[in-house]
């Protein structure tokens, strides 16, 4: 299973974002394909916060459109969302200690832990900070063009 990080979602949604064309293409391929893919719940929340924020975009996405975009992606028969389950905190604690993650990077550890606990084979992200989590394979699909 592939999981998709916030930055890929934002790039795919915002035509004024860098890497829009590539991100839109890889997400469309996931959504139209048969391979199971996931969006971690924290990435849904972060996507909604970023694309609607007037300090990030001159013309932020109206919240209704941002919600509609998530709904559209989740209509894909191969898409699902992943979130915390029983035992999550124990795994997160181990990930934090093993990777020596603190501060604002705890958010990344949360996403990495969700991916690991749900059997994600690969996280697609343009964020190099995920490399600190050795147990998680991370790939930037936008560099394959």
What digits encode the pLDDT tens for the residues 69-125?
A: 999 999 999 999 999 999 999 999 999 999 999 999 999 999 999 999 999 999 999
Question: What confidence tier does 130 reach under pLDDT thresholds 50, 70, 90?
Answer: very high
Single pTM value for the model: 0.94
The string of DSSP codes covering 34-54 is: SS-EEEEHHHHHHHHHHHT-T
Query: What's the pLDDT tens digit per position in 9-57?
Result: 999 999 999 899 999 999 999 999 999 999 999 999 999 999 999 999 9
Q: Which helix (H) or strand (E) holds 123?
A: strand 122-124
DSSP 3-state assignment of 79?
A: strand
Which domains, from first to last, does the chain contain?
A: 2-140 (3.40.50.1010)
- The DSSP symbol for 4 reads E
Given a cut of 90, is residue 141 above it in pLDDT?
yes
């Amino acid at each position: 299973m592939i999981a998709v990080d916030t930055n890929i979602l934002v790039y795919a949604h915002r035509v004024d974002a860098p890497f829009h064309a590539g991100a839109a293409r890889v997400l469309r391929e996931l959504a139209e394909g048969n391979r199971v893919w996931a969006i971690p719940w924290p990435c849904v929340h972060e996507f909604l916060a970023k694309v609607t924020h007037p300090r990030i975009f001159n013309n932020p996405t109206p919240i209704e459109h941002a919600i509609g975009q998530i709904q559209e992606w989740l209509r894909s028969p191969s898409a699902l969302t992943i979130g915390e389950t029983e035992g999550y905190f124990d795994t997160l604690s181990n990930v934090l200690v093993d990777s020596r993650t603190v501060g604002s990077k705890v958010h990344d550890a949360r996403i990495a832990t969700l991916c690991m606990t749900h059997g994600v084979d690969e996280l697609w992200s343009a964020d190099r900070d995920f490399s600190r989590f050795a147990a998680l394979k991370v790939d930037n699909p936008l560099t394959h063009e």
